[in-house]
Amino acid sequence: MKLSRTAAFYIALVLVLAPAPFFLNAYWLDVLDSIGLYAILGLSLNIILGHAGLFNLGHAAFYAVGAYTAAILNTQYNIPILWLLPVCGLTAGLFALIVVRPIIKLRGDYLCIVTVGVGEIVRIALINDVFGLTGGSNGILGIQRPHLFGFVIRRPMHFFFFIWAFVALTVFLFTRLERSRFGRALNYLREDEVAAEGSGINTAHYKLAAFIIGAAWAGMAGNIYAAKMTVIAPESFSFWESVVVFALVILGGAGSIPGVLLGSFVIIGLPELFRGFADARMLIFGLAMIVMMIFRNQGILPAHPRPYFLDVLPEGAMQPESASGSPGEVPAAKEPL
């Protein structure tokens, strides 16, 4: 059987990543952990930005809600952090529902600036120690490591397997989502909102659903981040963070899961390789973003339109005229009204 491009990419990725823990030192494993974490964030933003085409430059807000939910519940009530994974998804999703519901009808760029605003409001609220829970600008310290069947996930290598397993799960689920009726509806409203509305797609509903799913997944990424760092502070959830995730989705290829994975390697991994250039590395990074957009603006691995093969249709469904007797006869035109 011929391998599809996507499958080939996944196999190559697994072949490259699987032996990595046995060759790389703790520093580079930590870089791979970060890449995995951003890949999860990128995949979650991909639902909103890539599939539904909604400009969201405030993704760090949902990430922050997840991370702080994990941190607060873990440090105050000693709930194991892994159990909190779904809880974090739930709170981030709920937060998205409350915040995005009133603004979902805004057009592209207005929505964009409002998401920026939401991100900033969340960050400022965290700094100002809202409800006395977030610990102000120092953040929250002493978050426990995750336990899995009595095994403590502690070292970069443990996190490597934990994070990339979660990436694999995310890829699997989001691929299923992409191919579902829901995914098609999102793509439709991205391409043409008016036509989608006209075909009976409740656009506000689907946009909101895209936001909630993306936010929930970002919340879970926040949980993993909190567990990995054991200390979180508002500065980790700044506007810059949203920009990085946004850039990796667009640069990798909006709407394409392999693209987003590759994008996270490029955006998070490449600056690490340029550490030798010290101060100038971000300059190179910015230049690379411009050059990339000029020469390949659809991203490194763009999403391809999916073909639908009609051979899955029942026999004879393609020839409606054969059922109505005399083939080739055009039905008489109706009298104009």
Partner 1 sequence: MEQFFQQLTNGLAVGAIYALIALGYTMVYGVLKLINFAHGDLFTCGAYLGLTLVTTFAITEHTGPALGFVILVVLVMALVAFLGAVLERAAYRPLRQSPRLSAVVSALGASIVLQNSLMLIYGASYLVFPSDILPSVPVQIFGIYIPLLRIVIFAISLAMMVGLYLFIQKTRIGTAIRAAAIDQGAARLMGINVDRVILVVFLVGPALGGAAGLLIGLQYGQVNFLMGWSYGLKAFTAAVLGGIGNIPGAMLGGLLLGVIESLGSAYVSTAWKDAIAFCVLILVLIARPTGILGERVAEKV
Give contact residues for partner 1 (rule: CB under 8 A): 55, 102-103, 105-107, 109-110, 112-114, 116-118, 120-121, 124-125, 127-128, 193-194, 239-240, 243, 246-247, 250-251, 254, 279-280, 282-283, 285-290, 292-294, 297-298
Residue 225 in tokens: 């981040």
Cα dihedral 81, 86, 87, 89, rounded to 10, equals 110
| Contact between 264 and 252 (Cβ < 8 Å) | yes
| Contact between 301 and 9 (Cβ < 8 Å) | yes
Q: Quick check: helix, strand or coil at residue 152?
A: strand
Question: Cβ 162 to partner 1, closest distance in Å?
Answer: 31
Is the four-CA dihedral 294, 299, 303, 304 of positive or negative sign?
positive
CA-nearest of 12, 3, 88 to 258 is: 12
Question: Cβ 220 to partner 1, closest distance in Å?
Answer: 26
Closer to partner 1 by CB, 172 or 240: give it.
240
Question: Cβ 75 to partner 1, closest distance in Å?
Answer: 23
By residue count, the chain amounts to 337
Closer to partner 1 by CB, 201 or 289: give it.
289
Closer to partner 1 by CB, 224 or 260: give it.
260
Closer to partner 1 by CB, 157 or 268: give it.
268
CA-nearest of 113, 107, 126, 97 to 242 is: 113
| Contact between 241 and 67 (Cβ < 8 Å) | no
Question: Cβ 55 to partner 1, closest distance in Å?
Answer: 8
Question: Cβ 121 to partner 1, closest distance in Å?
Answer: 5
Closer to partner 1 by CB, 44 or 75: give it.
44
| Contact between 60 and 241 (Cβ < 8 Å) | yes
Closer to partner 1 by CB, 83 or 240: give it.
240
Question: Cβ 107 to partner 1, closest distance in Å?
Answer: 7
